[in-house]
Amino acid sequence: MTWRDFTIHVMAHERNEIVEWHRVRAVTYMVYRMNTGDKVVKKPEQIMPLPGDKLPDRGEPMANEDVLRTIKLFKGNGTK
């Protein structure tokens, strides 16, 4: 087996693992939907997040001035 063949096998195995985890998440979600009476239903990504899922947008990062102001606010509130 050449290095190229080995790499192809590894990539195929990783892809199959990802597909299997998505299948597990789908089954888990079906069980959740059947056994829950919640009005607000969670999404499958919320129940079982997977490494390849898109992360929710967290907005813009804080500006440096806001960070410094926050640090200055909480600096004096520690115990001595």
d(CA 70, CA 72): 5
In this model, does residue 28 exceed pLDDT 90? yes
In this model, does residue 40 exceed pLDDT 90? no
In this model, does residue 77 exceed pLDDT 70? no
d(CA 41, CA 31): 13
d(CA 80, CA 78): 7
In this model, does residue 80 exceed pLDDT 80? no
**Which residue would you say has higher pLDDT here, 47 or 37?**
47
Under 8 Å between Cβ of 42 and 32: yes
Mean pLDDT of 14-34: 93
The reported pLDDT for the residue numbered 6 is: 96
**Of 24-28, 35-39, 73-77, highest mean pLDDT:** 24-28
DSSP H helices, 36-58, are: 44-47
